[in-house]
Amino acid sequence: MKLIIASNNAHKVAEIKAILAPYFNSIQSLKDARLDIDVVEDGKTFAENALKKAREVLAVSDADAALSDDSGLEVDALFGAPGVYSARYAGEGHDDNANNEKLLQEMKDVPPDKRTCRFVSAVALARREKEPITAVGAVEGKLLYAPRGCGGFGYDPLFLYEPEGMTFAELSAAKKNEISHRACALNALREAMENERA
């Protein structure tokens, strides 16, 4: 079976390949598949965005399935923001640094005990002549006052994973793949696929 991941984000693609490789003969990114598609993410939830993207990518590909992930950071003190706008929090065309700077500015006066947050990931697997599967995963953390670590991407340097006492940017890729929101969602998806087989 051939799977297309509806992303060109190398970090995401690597995480997904590491978890779902046993289930597909071939796994490609959009770039690998020579697909240039820009899906408008106008859903109100991560799951809505992921499902829309997976369906649209499958429709224009020759793959057996398409997998999409929509993920982001929810900060309690900001009533769940940046949420579905995580990637474009500082505006269209801005990068991770700009998003992080905006978030730090908005949170600068929030005390440590009120800086609870979570990474949320929704994954959707669209398949030919089968119902799609969606799954959601989350991991709780605290938002720091300054970035730490040089790994990962996005808000990882600001997200303190308290059981390890490290940010997601300080964790090894292997460790992050074990406990991340995306890993939780992908493992739930994998479980749903196993249940189908049974």
70 is catalytic: yes
- CA nearest 108: which of 158, 74, 157? 158
- CA nearest 133: which of 182, 176, 83, 195? 195
* Residue the block writes with tokens 């297309």: 4
Query: Which residue among the candidates 69, 70, 109, 156 is catalytic per the annotation?
Result: 70
- CA nearest 157: which of 110, 109, 97? 97
- Residues 135, 186 contacting (CB under 8 angstroms): yes
Q: For residue 184, what is the enclosing H or E element?
A: helix 181-197
Tokens of 2: 């051939």
Catalytic residues: 70
